[in-house]
Chains A and B, each alone.
Chain A
Amino acid sequence: MIALRLVRLIEVNADTLSETLLVKFRSSAHTRHILRVPEDELRERSFEIYRNLSDWLLHKTGAEIERRYRAVGERRARQRVPLADLVWAILLTKEHLWQFLEQEGFLLGPLEIYGELELFRLLGQFFDRAVCYAIEGYQLAGGSDVAARSEIGNTRRTTESVPI
């Protein structure tokens, strides 16, 4: 039995979680380029996951997760976010959740921990699939080429602006 108490705790705190995740995106060297996505869009995306976590974990089918995250991957490719930044951003969304659970309500006692283990397993599966589908979507949109061209463009601009 999944630890529904913790899922509800996440859903209730979805606002704060999304805000603090944005702070991590801004400060992590691995997600520097995810900030090419408008902040409101990033906030809305993580809020939507956290706010409806029980739905995502317990009711959404594999096909729905696939459709959603392929679309995210395609969109991030068009926004010229490098693939590694996209992957790290999704993994950080999961890690952020774990840190929150550890701080707020995790590991109460041996009786509850089985439900918590089950929650961990479901969360892990969900985010693992999210990463893989996002990569598939990114690939479909020709993302690596788009982002690489963008990176080359940025490098050129930087180089050109430096007086030799």
Chain B
Amino acid sequence: MIALRLVHLIEIHSDELADSLTHKLLTAERTRSLRGVPVSEIHQRCHEVYRNLSDWVLAKTEHEIEAVYGRLGSRRAQQGVDIASLTWALMLTKENLFEFLAREGMHGTAESVFGELELVRSLDQFFDRAIYHAVVGFERAASHVAA
């Protein structure tokens, strides 16, 4: 059974998580080309993922992840973000979450640890799919621009 306690903890702290991630994205060297995207848009995107995490991890279909992250990739290509920065940004979104979980709520008890592992696995799978579809969307948009 997935650790719903932790999912809710993330959702409750989505504001704080979005703030810290936005700061990382705007200051990290690897995500430099994201600086051309309006800050409010970056913040809103971070907040949306964290705020609705249970929905993303437990309810959304592959098709929905494809639609949303394909669009994100395409938009970032049109905004002049490079594909490596976009991928690092998605990785940092996950890493920011794992750092928060390690600090705030993971490794609770022997009974809860299986649910925690399942959550980590589900999050990892979700972000893998998000990255893949973002790359597909990015490449599609970039090839249209090039054409």
Binding site for B on A (CB under 8 A): 30, 82-84, 87-88, 91, 94-95, 98, 107, 110-111, 113-114, 116-117, 120-121, 124-125, 128-129, 131-132, 135-136, 139, 144-145, 148, 151
A110 with B142: CB separation less than 8 A: no
Q: What is the CA–CA distance of A125 and B87 in the complex, to the nearest angstrom? A: 14
- Which interface class (under 10, 10 to 19, 20 to 34, 35 or more) fits B? 20 to 34
> Which residues of chain B come closer than 8 Å to A132, judged between CB atoms?
30, 84, 87-88, 91
Binding site for A on B (CB under 8 A): 30, 82-84, 87-88, 91, 94-95, 98, 106-107, 110-111, 113-114, 116-117, 120-121, 124-125, 128, 131-132, 135-136, 139, 142-143, 146
**How far is the CB of B113 from the nearest CB of chain A, in Å?**
5
Overall SS of chain A's interface: helix
Q: A124-B124, A132-B84, A148-B143 are in contact. Are A117 and B135 (CB under 8 A)?
A: no
14 examples of A-B residue contacts, CB within 8 angstroms = A30-B132, A83-B83, A87-B135, A113-B117, A114-B107, A120-B120, A120-B121, A131-B87, A135-B83, A135-B135, A136-B84, A144-B143, A148-B143, A151-B143
Q: What is the CA–CA distance of A117 and B136 in the complex, to the nearest angstrom? A: 30
Closest to B91 in A: A128
B114 with A88: CB separation less than 8 A: no
> Which residues of chain B come closer than 8 Å to A87, judged between CB atoms?
87, 131-132, 135
Q: What is the CA–CA distance of A80 and B82 in the complex, to the nearest angstrom? A: 19
> Which residues of chain A come closer than 8 Å to B131, judged between CB atoms?
87, 91, 131
Which of B82, B111, B125, B146 is the one whose CB lies under 8 Å from A139?
A: B82
A110 with B128: CB separation less than 8 A: no
Q: What is the CA–CA distance of A6 and B88 in the complex, to the nearest angstrom? A: 28
